[in-house]
């Protein structure tokens, strides 16, 4: 009897411990470092999780994957690769690094020559983190972060990656908005966030609603994978509103390549050279360093010759300016501000500028942004874990108030000019989900027309930059056309006309709506007979 009583007490204690261990896991997948943070439901402080042997320090995992066997799917992860000194130049195609920038990219440059595809590398990392964390705690909710520039494609990838994970709630938050939450600003504040990561620069203006008797804000949230977090909490409904945002696929690792190419123009930038270039960049980013002081780093070339990388703070800044980095930041700033202005924002509304990501430590970046923002106060939360900590502010019962990063246009027949045109449906800065659908009437363009085809595209912002790779070196190129429309996908939605349409005849009325998952939905009727048209869902837009 006594033993049974002891067993029952042990079971009760174990159940209590398990209940205490339920909570939210946040993963911020980075180009150089992936951050893993867990917070229990009982309101304890967030905890940076130590996951040996793959973590470098609590909460920080190098974003590295190594395929250790040709036959079996055996991989080494993170710190394991560094400890075994596998970041060498031999068999480097077994190594996958800087893979995040290529997830969702329209094409992969030959600069990425790993045997492991970027999508696969990201999947391996997230699944390995999940397995190790699941051994320690019970994950009730998973929060992941995503870059702005490739948000839609990244979202599609992450949904597929998470399909096999046994978790009830999955959420996605864009990185600059999470950074705003990680900065710890007061409710009612309006922030401009610059997230300068290893492979992307994201900018966002976020209004942290609250104050003056209103509920405190939380991070902007995208709900997906069939999970609806609303109504599952007794907390007061809270919101974070994104007023404008923009991003570009370039980052700190590109600066390393610029430095290596500038100082060793005749050398292929191997991993060891790039690592030394990164060290040089970090040393030159210290605030108290003199502008003209030359810092020297020794490297070994492809021919096993010893050479020295020498650069000053002034030299680094001139290099970045010549490469167009400041111009790109100005373009992002202009795009973000213009979108926010459509949501009644004025520059004087800014309370603070938040800088996160390793690249934000470069003094040139902060000084230049300060001139653009008219000396608005700056906040510099911990650059590595700020985004993951901000994402953890996610709780059930959240109202999503976000804006489209890019617009949505429909290719249709213009009766007046008798030609096909791109007609804007939703502009960049359009809040979603939409309150009411947008209605459009479409006419036939030829006699005896059997169907009307719908082609959806997104406008490229005027003055935007795109990244091209010349001999493996990232280069900023300004888009020539200010009216360039990029089709969202190769799918054409064909709506049958029964009876066939006649030229100039109004045939169908379509209602366009953006739902809570930021998906474009199309419903409609045939105006000639009031028959309903099959509902179409074009998937996520951004």
Task: Give pLDDT, residue 227.
Answer: 44
> How would you classify the pairing of strands 398-403 and 33-40?
unpaired
Q: Report how many helices (DSSP H) and strands (DSSP E) the chain contains, helices first.
A: 11, 30
Q: Residue 158, Cα to own-chain centre: how many angstroms?
A: 11
Is the bond preceding 49 in cis, omega lying within 30 degrees of 0?
Answer: no
SS3 261: helix
CB count in 10 Å sphere of residue 340: 26
Task: Tell me the pairing of strands 75-77 and 33-40.
Answer: unpaired
DSSP code per residue over 179-221: HHHHTTPPTT-EEEEEEE-SS-EEEEEEEE--BTTBPPP----
Question: Rounded to whole angstroms, how far apart are CA atoms 542 and 540?
Answer: 7
Reading the block at residue 318, the tokens are 């001139």
Q: Could you give the 3-state DSSP secondary structure of residue 71? A: coil
Domain with CATH 3.30.420.40 in the chain: 12-184+213-235+384-401
Nearest to 280 by CA among 184, 269, 95: 269
For every residue of 315-383, DSSP letters joined together read HHHHHHHHTTHHHHHHHHHHHHHHHHHTTT--GGG--EEEEESGGGGSHHHHHHHHHHTTT--EE---T
In this prediction, residue 80 carries a pLDDT of 92
Q: Which CATH architecture has domain 408-540?
A: Sandwich (2.60)
CATH, domain range 252-322: 3.90.640
At 477 the pLDDT is: 66
Kindly write down the DSSP assignment for every residue of 407-463, as one continuous string: -EEEEEEETTTTEEEEEEEE-TT-EES-SSPEEEEEEBSSTTEEEEEEEEEEEPPTT
Residues of the chain with CATH 2.60.34.10: 408-540
The segments of the chain whose pLDDT lies below 70 read 1-20, 42-43, 69-72, 88-92, 149, 187, 209-240, 393-403, 413-418, 429, 460-472, 474, 476-483, 489-491, 540, 542
The CATH 3.90.640 portion of the chain extends over: 252-322
Indicate the pairing of strand 519-526 with strand 506-514. Answer: antiparallel
142 neighbors 165 (Cβ within 8 angstroms): yes
Residues sharing a CB contact under 8 Å with residue 8, sequence separation 6 or more, in sequence order: none
Q: How far apart are CA 12 and CA 425, in angstroms?
A: 58
Pull the structure tokens for residue 338. Answer: 């213009």
Q: What is the pLDDT of residues 439-463, one digit of tens each?
A: 888 888 889 999 888 888 877 655 5
User: pTM for this one?
Assistant: 0.64
Distance of CA 263 to CAs 1, 119, 124, 251, 467, Å?
79, 32, 35, 19, 22
Decide if 431 contacts 207 (C-beta within 8 A).
Answer: no
The label of the residue with tokens 């190419």 reads 261
pLDDT at position 423: 80
Structure tokens at 76: 């080494």
CATH classification code of 12-184+213-235+384-401: 3.30.420.40
Q: Which residues of 223-257 are buried (b: 16+ CB within 10 A; e: fewer)?
A: bbbeeebeeeeeeeebbbbbbbbbbbbbbbbbbbb
């Amino acid at each position: 009897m006594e033993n049974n009583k002891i067993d029952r007490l042990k079971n009760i204690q174990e159940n209590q411990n398990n209940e205490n261990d339920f909570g939210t896991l946040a993963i911020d997948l980075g180009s150089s470092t992936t951050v893993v943070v867990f917070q229990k439901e009982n309101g304890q402080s967030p905890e940076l999780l130590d996951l040996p042997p793959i973590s470098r320090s609590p909460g920080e995992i190098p974003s590295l994957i190594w395929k250790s066997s040709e036959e079996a799917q055996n991989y080494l992860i993170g710190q394991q690769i560094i400890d075994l000194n596998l970041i060498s130049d031999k068999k480097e195609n077994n190594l996958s690094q800087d893979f995040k920038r290529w997830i969702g990219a329209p094409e992969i440059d030959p600069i990425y020559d790993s045997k492991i595809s970027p999508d696969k590398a990201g999947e391996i990392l997230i699944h390995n983190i999940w397995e190790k964390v699941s051994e320690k705690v019970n994950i009730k909710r998973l929060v992941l972060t995503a870059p702005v520039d490739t948000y839609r494609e990244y979202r599609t990838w992450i949904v597929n990656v998470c399909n096999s994970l046994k978790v009830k709630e999955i959420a996605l938050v864009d990185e600059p908005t999470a950074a705003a939450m990680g900065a710890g600003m007061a409710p009612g504040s309006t922030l401009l966030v610059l997230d300068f990561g290893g492979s992307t620069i994201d900018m966002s203006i976020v209004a942290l609603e609250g104050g003056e008797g209103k509920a405190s804000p939380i991070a902007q949230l995208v709900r997906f994978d069939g999970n609806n977090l609303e109504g599952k909490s007794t907390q007061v409904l809270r919101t974070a509103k994104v007023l404008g945002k923009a991003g570009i696929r370039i980052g700190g690792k590109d600066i390393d390549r610029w430095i290596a190419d500038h100082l060793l123009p005749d050398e292929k930038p191997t991993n060891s050279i790039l690592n030394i270039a990164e060290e040089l960049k970090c040393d030159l980013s210290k605030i108290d360093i003199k502008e003209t002081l030359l810092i020297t780093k020794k490297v070994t070339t492809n021919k096993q010759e010893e050479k020295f990388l020498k650069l000053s703070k002034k030299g680094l800044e001139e290099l970045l300016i010549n490469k167009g980095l400041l111009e790109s930041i100005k373009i992002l700033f202009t795009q973000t501000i213009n979108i926010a202005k459509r949501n009644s924002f004025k520059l004087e509304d800014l309370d603070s500028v938040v800088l996160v990501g390793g690249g934000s430590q470069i003094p040139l970046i902060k000084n230049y942004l300060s001139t653009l923002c008219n000396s608005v106060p700056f906040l510099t939360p911990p650059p590595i874990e700020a985004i993951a900590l901000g994402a953890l502010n996610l709780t059930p019962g959240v109202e999503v108030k976000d804006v489209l990063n890019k617009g949505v246009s429909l290719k249709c027949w213009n009766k007046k000019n008798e030609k096909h045109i791109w007609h804007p449906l939703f502009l960049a800065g359009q809040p979603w989900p939409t309150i009411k659908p947008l209605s459009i009437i479409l006419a036939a363009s030829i006699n005896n027309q059997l169907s009307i085809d719908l082609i959806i595209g997104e406008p490229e912002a005027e003055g935007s930059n795109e990244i091209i790779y010349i001999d493996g070196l990232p280069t900023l190129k300004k888009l020539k056309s200010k009216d360039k429309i990029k089709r969202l996908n190769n799918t054409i939605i064909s709506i049958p006309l029964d009876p066939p349409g006649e030229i100039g005849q109004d045939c169908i009325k379509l209602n366009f709506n953006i739902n809570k998952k930021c998906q474009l939905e199309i419903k409609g009727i045939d105006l000639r007979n009031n028959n309903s048209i099959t509902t179409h869902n074009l998937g996520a837009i951004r």
